[in-house]
Amino acid sequence: MRIGFVRLLACTPLAWAMLALSAPAADEVQKPIYERFEQAEGDEVPSFQRHVSPLFGRLGCNGRSCHGSFQGRGEFRLSLFGYDFKADHEALLDAKRPRVDVKNIDESLILAKPTDADMHEGGERYKKGSWQHHVLRRWVAAGANYSEKEVQKLVTLEVTPQELLLTKPGQTVQMKAVAVWPDGSKEDVTPLCRFQSNSEQVAKISENGLVTATDTGDTHIVISYDNAVIAIPVIRPVTELSGKAYPKVSAPTAIDKLVVQKLQKLGVVPSGLSNDAEFLRRVSLDLTGTLPSAQEVEEFLADKSPNKRSEKVEKLLESPAYAAWWTTKLCDFTGNNDSQLNNVSPVRTTSPGQEWYDWIYKRVSENKPYDEIAAGIVLGQSRNPGQDYKEYCEELSEMYREGKASFADRSSMPYYWARNNYRQPEERAIGIAYTFLGMRIQCAQCHKHPFDQWSKDDFDAFKAFFARVQFNQAGARDKESLAQYNEIIAASGLNKELKGNDLRRLLPDALKEGKTIPFGEVYLIKPTAAPARKNDKGNANNKNRAPMPVAKARVLGGETMDLNSVEDARQPLMDWMRSPNNPYFAKAFVNRVWASYFNVGIVEPPDDLSLANPPSNRGLLDYLAKGFIEHKFDMKWLHREILASDTYQRSWQPNETNSKDERNFARAVPRRLPAEVAYDAITIATSSDAKAAGARTEIKGRAISIATSSARVQGNQAGNATFGLQVFGRSTRESNCDCDRSMDASLLQTVYLQNDTSVLSALEGGRDTWIDQIKQKPTRLKDGTDPEKVDLSKELPRMKARLDRAKKEKNKEQITRLEARIAELESAAKTKDEVKKQPEGLSLEPITLIRQAYLRTLSRQPTDDEISRCQEFLASSSSPLEGARGLLWTLINTKEFIVNH
């Protein structure tokens, strides 16, 4: 007796006894459905969840191009890829246009149309008499039954083999998938699975699960059934050096061991270590967003200490530039955008985006744990615990007026929830998933993704965590807060009828006058009971107050929670995120940090930790995430762990085995500098030695410390940086997606480096520039007069006018003195003209100048050949100074300058 037949029995003791007798043993696996339904007749009745709905998916019936599309096809719509069993069953049995006819079985449209290519717009999907036809027909014949009570959560999908090591083109391997259910039953569901290869260049897979090797490399085969999505790694070695033939490779750290394990399977040998100059430039740009100064490069190259690399990392981690650059990255992830914070604060002296940045910067510089920073954002509220609205406004008014406190000192950062594009629960659910879980769940607003686990029901249950968070420009809307708001307006002397911009224009002046002004706030809507019921006499009776309807939410992949018992619905969400068992929170941050160092994430894109997009090295991601949690989310531990590895310190120069590798970390992959780093690098390369040396400690005016993506604020903070940052693709911070930042090279970037006024003006030799520093300028004229301090156009006429008056007055003493002064000035003018005619010189010898130019741009010494060619260039220039400008311009326009390698 089959299990499907037992389901038809009533839930009586006899039925349960029959089930116990007929159920397969725990290790017994039911044969594939095509064997069990080879014949038209049989005892087994298919399950709608286990067989019918997955079969629709295999046949393409519920795909995007067919009945799974938003509008359906032929007035018949199924849920995309069958995520909604109830809706699909109702659609099949819809009274107006049923697809199932249990009385006239063979007249059912799900049997008649898909077997007739002429009748069915989608063509023939299966043949009459096939096992697919038998499955659907038996289900209809048995009554086309479905009950939500019968739905079970799949325990696991066991896929074999768990890894494919292919050796030659054309080699085939058959995949097998076994579904394990809560009742202990197991079934070979391979014919009901959907299969996908993430790269058909490496391996193809048929609809029945037969894998065929194509070219060398590695990828994943993705198998989907019910709510399970399993990714199986596929590797075909790129050389003959795989396995036992692999050479001995040093792997001093845990990271190196895990990376080399994967490379050994691929037959890829990693590159050697980078030289000291390459390491210094790379780690300085990566960790602090700052080009090392020429002096720093010279000192590092001269240092013979065996620990100088780790010591340099420690020094960089303590620099303000480290805090600034990684604060900028966290502002990218969290969406700090002043354009979305309009009218959030009545204060005009500082922007909310700047305060957002300052709040994170303080914690990064103090090395606060990442989960603590995340909690301060996720649980952000405007008031401190225990404050009423009036006390909150008094505190902020004093803070902005007196400047004795800082917004960065507040316990949480509420602006994350105040953005104009972040007010709806759906927007917040998507944003939280992007920012803190590295996941893209926006598709689940409407449907289940074909190769991911999240359904519309999961999305709706997740967004419930954010429904109670509110922002209002005039504060909370409860009775007490409204009364205090009106009291503040009255005390400030403002017209209580004023609203919106009319009121906001007056608030800054009222603040300057020492008055308390109202502030907007992020607050929580507190759970309230339903209105009191009236008794028989019509009086309100609090004893009969109805309980508040149950508010429920569910973390992704977790259990449903009752939110009535918590004051802040976000608290259980944050508890879940920072839990050691959370499968996403730590991995999302670890993966993003790794991507910053290696051009690609262990999961790529870094914000797409979906089941169908598995890590290229699962063991590596697990190790780093576990270590991050064990070290209490210490961000500096994570940086040290990665930077200390040979994997990070490898050369960018490829060998024969790894020249095409860009995802298994066998070498450093050259990558264009991020926008802020590129802009600052141009400034540092053209700055004087003193200014360049202080770039890592003096971050004011640096592009890496610009708080927000607002163009207006960028211009205020870093001069004319807005256009340059746009050209190089600074994050727009519009969607919390990592794709808001562009790292692509473009022709416009080349034009900018060659011709932009900000670049050319730095080469002209203005204040604090290297060109100005190396000019050879005479300090005195021949008679001792400083030509820079004498304005002869005004001084000579004035002296001559005084001489004329002295002659009229016949003042001989004054005449003699003035004539001597005029002669002196005329001599100075003649000498000054002669100096102007002379060619400008340099304070450095050509060989020294060339070396300094290379050190300050490319962070290395020039080769002998480069020195020779540069000397020829300087000698052929119209003047030594023009030669220096041309050399510096040329080096800035090399690929080596704009790329981290």
**In this structure, what token pair is assigned to residue 70?**
């938003």
Residue 851 pLDDT class (50, 70, 90 cuts): very high
Average pLDDT for 236-261: 96
Residue 638 pLDDT class (50, 70, 90 cuts): very high
Q: Kindly tell me if the per-residue pLDDT of 49 is higher than 60.
A: yes
Q: Give the residue from 231, 194, 499, 517 showing the smallest Cα distance to 349.
A: 517
**In this structure, what token pair is assigned to residue 677?**
């780093």
In degrees and rounded to multiples of 5, residue 98 shows phi and psi of -70, 145
d(CA 135, CA 106) in angstroms, rounded, equals 13
For residue 787, what pLDDT is reported?
A: 53
Q: Kindly tell me if the per-residue pLDDT of 144 is higher than 80.
A: yes
For residue 110, what pLDDT is reported?
A: 87
Residue 122 pLDDT class (50, 70, 90 cuts): confident
d(CA 668, CA 901) in angstroms, rounded, equals 6
Half-sphere exposure at residue 408, Cβ-oriented, CA atoms within 13 angstroms: 16
d(CA 600, CA 668) in angstroms, rounded, equals 11
pLDDT digits (tens, 9 = 90+) for 89-111: 888 888 788 888 888 998 888 88
DSSP character at residue 740: G
Residue 544 pLDDT class (50, 70, 90 cuts): very low
Residue 830 pLDDT class (50, 70, 90 cuts): low
Q: Kindly tell me if the per-residue pLDDT of 132 is higher than 50.
A: yes
Secondary structure (3-state) at 117: coil
Q: Give the residue from 567, 571, 628 showing the smallest Cα distance to 594.
A: 628
Residue 366 pLDDT class (50, 70, 90 cuts): very high
Q: For residue 132, what is the enclosing H or E element?
A: helix 131-141
Q: Kindly tell me if the per-residue pLDDT of 575 is higher than 50.
A: yes
Query: How far apart, in Å, are the Cα atoms of 230 and each of 225, 588, 620, 715?
Result: 9, 19, 19, 48
Q: Kindly tell me if the per-residue pLDDT of 546 is higher than 60.
A: no
| List of residues 6+ apart from 524 with CB closer than 8 A | 381, 468, 469, 470, 567, 568, 569
Residue 276 pLDDT class (50, 70, 90 cuts): very high
Strands, DSSP E only, in 106-237? Answer: 156-160, 164-165, 172-174, 176-180, 186-188, 194-197, 203-205, 210-213, 217-225, 228-236
Residue 14 pLDDT class (50, 70, 90 cuts): very low
- Min mean pLDDT across 169-173, 505-509, 631-635, 838-842 is at 838-842
Query: How far apart, in Å, are the Cα atoms of 192 and each of 11, 210, 226, 682, 695?
Result: 28, 14, 9, 58, 61
The residue that leads in pLDDT, 487 or 811, is 487
The residue that leads in pLDDT, 404 or 465, is 465
- Min mean pLDDT across 151-165, 354-368, 665-679, 835-849 is at 835-849
For residue 790, what pLDDT is reported?
A: 59
- Min mean pLDDT across 118-132, 291-305, 829-843 is at 829-843
The residue that leads in pLDDT, 249 or 826, is 249
Taking the alpha carbons of 254, 255, 256, 259 in that order, is the dihedral positive or negative? positive
For residue 808, what pLDDT is reported?
A: 84
Residue-by-residue DSSP string for 494-509: --TT--HHHHHTTHHH
Residue 1 pLDDT class (50, 70, 90 cuts): very low
Q: Kindly tell me if the per-residue pLDDT of 520 is higher than 50.
A: yes
Q: CB–CB of 868/750 below 8 Å?
A: no
Q: What is the CA radius of gyration of the chain?
A: 36
For residue 178, what pLDDT is reported?
A: 97
Q: Kindly tell me if the per-residue pLDDT of 388 is higher than 50.
A: yes
Mean pLDDT (the chain) is: 87
Residue 840 pLDDT class (50, 70, 90 cuts): low
Secondary structure (3-state) at 782: coil
| List of residues 6+ apart from 185 with CB closer than 8 A | 3, 23, 24, 30
Q: CB–CB of 874/882 below 8 Å?
A: no
Q: CB–CB of 452/612 below 8 Å?
A: yes
The bridge status of strand 228-236 relative to strand 164-165 is parallel
Q: For the chain, how long is the longest CA-to-CA vector?
A: 141
For residue 332, what pLDDT is reported?
A: 94
Residue-by-residue DSSP string for 642-659: HHTSHHHHB-S---TTTT
**In this structure, what token pair is assigned to residue 389?**
């609205």
Q: Give the residue from 843, 854, 833 showing the smallest Cα distance to 880.
A: 843
For residue 139, what pLDDT is reported?
A: 92
DSSP character at residue 454: -
Residue 529 pLDDT class (50, 70, 90 cuts): very low
For residue 835, what pLDDT is reported?
A: 46
pLDDT digits (tens, 9 = 90+) for 198-246: 999 999 999 999 999 999 999 999 999 988 999 999 999 999 999 999 9
Residue-by-residue DSSP string for 590-657: HHHHHHHHHSS-SSSSTT---TTS--SSHHHHHHHHHHHHHTTT-HHHHHHHHHTSHHHHB-S---TT
The residue that leads in pLDDT, 70 or 888, is 888
Taking the alpha carbons of 311, 369, 363, 360 in that order, is the dihedral positive or negative? positive
Q: CB–CB of 549/574 below 8 Å?
A: no
Q: Kindly tell me if the per-residue pLDDT of 2 is higher than 50.
A: no
Q: Kindly tell me if the per-residue pLDDT of 21 is higher than 70.
A: no
Q: Give the residue from 236, 107, 225, 226 showing the smallest Cα distance to 171.
A: 236
d(CA 866, CA 223) in angstroms, rounded, equals 55
Q: Kindly tell me if the per-residue pLDDT of 474 is higher than 90.
A: no
Cβ atoms within 10 Å, residue 145: 15
**In this structure, what token pair is assigned to residue 426?**
């759906």
Taking the alpha carbons of 686, 689, 695, 698 in that order, is the dihedral positive or negative? negative
Average pLDDT for 796-819: 83
Q: Side chain identity at 804, as an amino acid letter?
A: D
Q: What is the pTM of this model?
A: 0.86
Residue 17 pLDDT class (50, 70, 90 cuts): very low
d(CA 594, CA 638) in angstroms, rounded, equals 9
d(CA 692, CA 596) in angstroms, rounded, equals 24
For residue 798, what pLDDT is reported?
A: 85
d(CA 250, CA 598) in angstroms, rounded, equals 20
Q: Identify any residues that bridge with 158 across adjacent strands, giving them in sequence order.
A: 178
DSSP character at residue 240: S
For helices 370-378 and 352-365, angle between their N-to-C axes, nearest 10 degrees: 150
DSSP character at residue 667: S
pLDDT digits (tens, 9 = 90+) for 642-698: 999 999 999 999 999 999 998 999 999 999 999 999 999 999 999 999 999 999 999
